[in-house]
Amino acid sequence: MINPVSPSQVRAILKKYQIYCRKSLGQNFLSDANIVQKIVAGVRLDPGDVVVEIGPGLGALTRELAKKARLV
């Protein structure tokens, strides 16, 4: 089961670690499990693949990609 962090949890984590984001720079955090599932379903990965994820945020997508690839 995919369990990304909710928007309120994202805000709390960012505040705790004093991380400030700017939407004007396109900084967003994935928090919708349905979107994560659609992205992972649309990526053709083999167990030996290596994935480079740019801007992994808090890892919602990273966790799911890691289940399908050798290294993320």
Task: Note whether residue 2 is domain-resident.
Answer: no
pLDDT of residue 2: 55
Q: Is residue 1 part of a domain?
A: no
**What pLDDT does 13 receive?**
87
pLDDT band at 71, cuts 50/70/90?
A: very high
Domain of 37 in residue numbering reads as 7-66
Contact 61, 53 (CB under 8 A): yes
- Dihedral angle, C-alpha 7, 50, 67, 3, nearest 10 °: 0
The predicted pLDDT at position 21 comes to 82
Query: Is the residue at 33 inside a domain?
Result: yes
pTM of the model: 0.76
Report how far residue 37's alpha carbon sits from residue 25's, in angstroms, rounded to the nearest whole number.
Answer: 25
Q: What is the pLDDT of residues 28-58, one digit of tens each?
A: 888 888 999 999 999 999 999 999 999 888 8
